[in-house]
Amino acid sequence: MKNTLICYLLFVLSFVTMAQNEDYQIRVYQNNQEIMHNKGVIRLSKAPFQLVYVFSAPSNWVIIAGSQSKMKNASNTQSSLLGLLLNAESGGADSYFNTARSIRAWNGEIETAIYYEDDTHHTFDSLYKAGKTVYGVRTVEFLSTQDDELIVEEWPDDELIVASASVSYSSGKKSVSQPIALKLQLIDVPNTSIMDVKGKSFIEEGEAHFQEGCEGCGNLGSFDFLRNGKEVEFLFSGSDIFEFGNYTQEGNQVIIARGVKTFTVRPDGNQLTDNEYGTKYNLEQRKEEK
């Protein structure tokens, strides 16, 4: 990784600290490129990214994240930020090697533990070394909230505050120091064409006719395509069980779960037609957009 002047490049006047402290730094990467700040803001696509910790000795840290006002306000003063980090509660054991590819985004209520003991005991998904310097890569594909486990693409705001600090414990008492706060501006990735189903929801044309004593009978089918352009949550007609799977799209053809269901997208992008039965599904406004 290129050795850059982080002390200068990630200086944020509106924040309490740089992305560098005496004992560690945090760098932000996306698509194998380091993302620098622009007037105190790190702008990146609303898509998976990496937090890269740079350090030289075994260490323990905590991360908190969110976009509510208390996160934004705390990031403006060191004492407030330290207080929020100190009072964040443990979220339980965090597995080795960041297998979940996530951090907790509970607006300072619950923390994510980050640590490096040695090359086989750590919470990074990958490590790189240059002499005595260690680069610990923490990939973020999911943001865990009080209500859900969201892919980054589905984060409801265009801003995310990520704060971290060194942590230690003495006689069970938690201490935090060397806080770092990052202001991430998340930019929606536009669809490639009007027929692109990414981030769109479709519901079966017609009216639901429920039948007493037959749970699920009469339900309309629906398909909710996530904003990562890979996954879909769906309900088949007459079912009461939502399913989750992958999908692919080539031009006006959408393939669900390796051919379980295929659709043709109307040229205006507002309707899907089931290629087997001819059933039509109309574009509807997603729940979070209503």
* CATH code, domain carrying 132: 2.70.50
Average pLDDT over residues 90-117: 93
| Domain span including residue 134 | 6-187
> Can you give the pLDDT at residue 92?
81
C-alpha closest to that of 51 among 174, 117, 143, 156: 143
Could you give the number of structural domains in the chain?
2
114-159 pLDDT, tens per residue? 999 999 999 999 999 999 999 999 999 999 999 999 999 999 999 9
Residue 61: pLDDT band with limits 50, 70, 90: very high
Q: Are residues 179 and 225 in the same domain?
A: no
Q: Are residues 110 and 242 in the same domain?
A: no
Q: Single out the residue in 158, 187, 216 at which a domain terminates.
A: 187
Q: Are residues 41 and 179 in the same domain?
A: yes
Q: Are residues 206 and 271 in the same domain?
A: yes
194 in any annotated domain: no
Q: Are residues 26 and 155 in the same domain?
A: yes
Three-state SS across 44-63?
Answer: EECCCEEEEEEECCCEEEEE
Q: Are residues 12 and 88 in the same domain?
A: yes
C-alpha closest to that of 200 among 288, 285, 105: 285
User: Would the pLDDT of 20 be above 90?
Assistant: no
Q: Are residues 178 and 225 in the same domain?
A: no
219 in any annotated domain: yes
Q: Are residues 227 and 163 in the same domain?
A: no
What residues contact residue 40 under an 8 Å CB cut-off, 6+ apart?
12, 13, 14, 15, 183
Q: Single out the residue in 187, 222, 246 at which a domain terminates.
A: 187
User: Would the pLDDT of 11 be above 60?
Assistant: no
Picking from 90-104, 110-124, 170-184, which range would have the lowest pLDDT averaged per residue? 90-104
Q: Are residues 147 and 205 in the same domain?
A: no
Q: Are residues 133 and 182 in the same domain?
A: yes
Q: Are residues 172 and 245 in the same domain?
A: no
Q: Are residues 163 and 238 in the same domain?
A: no
Residue 3: pLDDT band with limits 50, 70, 90: very low
